[in-house]
Amino acid sequence: MFLFSKAPASAARAQTELRVELGLIDKLRAGDREAFNELYKRFAPMVHAVVLVRVPYEDVPDIVQEVFLTAYQKIDTLRDPGAFGGWLAKIARNRSAEFHRSKRCSEEISDDVPSGPNASAEAIEILDALRSLPETYRETLALRLVEGMTGAEIAERTGHTPDSVRVNLHRGMTMLRQKLGVGGRRK
């Protein structure tokens, strides 16, 4: 007798989500603005985290909007709709790099995070430490710590494998703890 096991619920949910997203991309290509709004809702946290670790805090919302505007205008250039999250992350990284190139010519860039009414000294310290990590880790950690995504969600949205996300989260947290001078290993 053969035993057949059902796919884990998370894998089934990921497949369902992918089908929904592929449908939304098809609708967007056909000019459906509501499909774009839904894709924005699904991917804005990921784009926000990608941009947050690269540009000054006050410029993040504008760049996030630029990323989605670019995606909207260039959706027909997306070859593999299943890679939408990775494609969008790449646009976010490129827009962030363009931000720095354009600012370099006209003004000095400050990496200081403004201490507004919602920012605490601890949050500023953590964001600065996060920004000092290698790119691979800071993006994954921002998605986890700032946007609250699970490892599976990060993998889904960015196109990375779950294993690489898990490794990046582990190594990144270790490096972040060292930079912040926070605790050793838990027993």
pLDDT for residue 30: 94
- pTM listed for this prediction: 0.69
Measured CA distances, 73 to 28, 59, 66, 104 (Å) = 10, 21, 10, 27
| Least confident segment among 18-32, 47-61, 150-164 | 150-164
CA distance 5 to 7: 6
Token pair for residue 127?
A: 């964001």
Instruction: Please check the confidence at residue 9 and state whether its pLDDT lies above 80.
Output: no
What's the angle, vertex CA 45, arms to CA 20 and CA 21, rounded to 5?
10
Between 14 and 46, the higher pLDDT residue: 46
Instruction: Please check the confidence at residue 34 and state whether its pLDDT lies above 70.
Output: yes
Between 184 and 127, the higher pLDDT residue: 127
pLDDT for residue 102: 77
Instruction: Please check the confidence at residue 1 and state whether its pLDDT lies above 70.
Output: no
For the stretch 91-127, pLDDT in tens is: 999 999 998 787 654 444 344 544 455 567 787 888 8
Return the CATH class of domain 11-180.
Answer: mainly alpha
pLDDT for residue 35: 95
CA distance 92 to 159: 14
pLDDT for residue 186: 47
Between 14 and 138, the higher pLDDT residue: 138
For the stretch 47-102, pLDDT in tens is: 999 999 999 989 999 999 999 999 999 999 999 999 999 999 999 999 999 987 87
Token pair for residue 55?
A: 């540009």
Between 1 and 21, the higher pLDDT residue: 21
pLDDT for residue 11: 74
